[in-house]
Amino acid sequence: MKDVNSLKGIHGVGTMQNRKKRSIPRVQRSTYLDLYMLNKEKERLLKEDKKLSMRKDDIKRCLEEIEQETNKLQKSEATSKAGKDTTSSGRAFAQTNGVKKEFKTMALSY
């Protein structure tokens, strides 16, 4: 499912601020209003930048945790492969007190 951020060209959409469009004609508005609007837009963008950097840090941390977990699992898999004993028939063996025993099997008919 696509969300709004993954749509093609969504980042190129212009806002009223960067298109320099206002509901009040230029003749009637004051410079104080322009300064106020620019300040509000700047604050909004700074907050968005901070949220994005926090999200990016969270993603990096999660990726590092995943990398550590995969390394640990790969090491444990390598050690288990090195210590694994099987026969040519493919039957598994149980090891208790250093003595290997073959599992008991039983045929079932349906």
The CA radius of gyration of the chain, in Å to the nearest whole number, is 32
Q: Are 105 and 97 in contact (CB under 8 A)?
A: no
pTM of the model: 0.47
**Which mean pLDDT values do the consecutive 10-residue runs of the chain (110 residues) have?**
64 65 67 90 95 95 95 89 58 60 81
Give pLDDT, residue 88: 41
Q: What does the block give as tokens for 36?
A: 């106020």
What distance in Å separates the CA atoms of residue 56 and residue 49, rounded to the nearest whole number? Answer: 10
Give pLDDT, residue 103: 79
DSSP H or E stretch at residue 96:
strand 93-96
Give pLDDT, residue 89: 46
Give pLDDT, residue 86: 47
Q: What residue spans define the domains of the chain?
A: 15-72
Give pLDDT, residue 43: 96
